[in-house]
Structure 1
Amino acid sequence: MPAERLRASDVTFYSAWDGNELAAVGALKDLGDGHGELKSMRAAPAYRGKGAGRAMLDHLIAEAKARGMTWLGLETGRPAPFADAHRLYAANGFAECAPFGDYVSDEFSLCMEKRL
């Protein structure tokens, strides 16, 4: 998601820090009608495999629940380099779903969802 889009009123951007080191980022987009979308989830290379991504995901899910959202979706890559992300999302209750919003079914994109 481009930086200017992360500043839109329907998106809230979060960052997690370890002192002066950026550990992870993520955003929550309000889709309306109790639906939300996880955007721009990333853990800094030095923090991958150390729980930074999981902590950000936990925070985004908690924030979605606090806002009254009942469904969360996300789009990630399907190829092998995204396998760690797939495992993280699946371990947190996300399952593959049909494309939503403007996403289309293709060999690269994988959409996932979780009911809250």
Structure 2
Amino acid sequence: MPESPELVIAPGDLTDPRVLRLLDDHLADMHATSPAESVHALDVSGLADPAVTFWAIAEGDVVLGCVALKQLAPDHGELKSMRADAAARGRGLGRRLLDHVLDEARGRGYARISLETGTEDFFAPARALYEKAGFAPCPPFGSYTLDPNSVFYTLELAPRP
């Protein structure tokens, strides 16, 4: 039996059609689930911002998901654009992407990482993942304001051993 390709997390190419399809699906889901004023997902231009680092997870030539880390301050990062392709959900990709970002944030010396996600049922698996990883609800941060369609989380980071 041939061995299946290994999952690899690497910097994502924002010109790669496979990545663009994943991001288009992400934005489409966000707009189908939340009112426009409550959609805070980054488009390609937002992900290309120098304050943002973007990664994709792939198995061989198949891009299965993505995640981004935005620097808000020298000691504070924001998790952005975490997405697993619908066909690849249930394989633990979200946890692998989250662990990758947390390790990167610790390596950068961040004291905390925060995120915004939706309150709708669609986002329940994401909220459960974040809570299991130790994220705690917090007030809006950065430029966010109170929004009944958003919930905010933060995680205090211990330095990397």
TM bucket normalised to smaller: over 0.9
Question: What TM-score, normalized by structure 1, do the two folds share?
Answer: 0.97
Higher helix share: 2
Question: What TM-score, normalized by structure 2, do the two folds share?
Answer: 0.70
Higher strand share: 1
Write the letter of the residue equivalent to 1:91.
K
Aligned partner of 1:23 in structure 2 is 64
Q: How does 1:37-116 map to 2 (within 5 A)?
A: 37-116=78-157
Write the letter of the residue equivalent to 2:84.
A
Aligned partner of 1:13 in structure 2 is 54
Secondary structure of 1:74 counterpart: strand
Stretches of 4+ aligned residues off by more than 4 angstroms: none
Give me the whole-angstrom Cα distance separating, in 2, the residues matched to 1:32 and 1:17: 30
| CA deviations over 1:8-54 (Å, ceiling 9, x no partner) | 11100000001111111000001113000000010111221111111
Out of 70, 76, 86, the residue aligned to residue 35 of structure 1 is 76
State, as a whole percentage, how many aligned pairs show the same letter: 44
Larger radius of gyration: 2
Give me the whole-angstrom Cα distance separating, in 2, the residues matched to 1:5 and 1:106: 21
Structure 1 gaps of 5+ residues are: none
Structure 2 gaps of 5+ residues are: 1-41
Number of residue pairs matched by the alignment = 116
Give me the whole-angstrom Cα distance separating, in 2, the residues matched to 1:16 and 1:100: 28
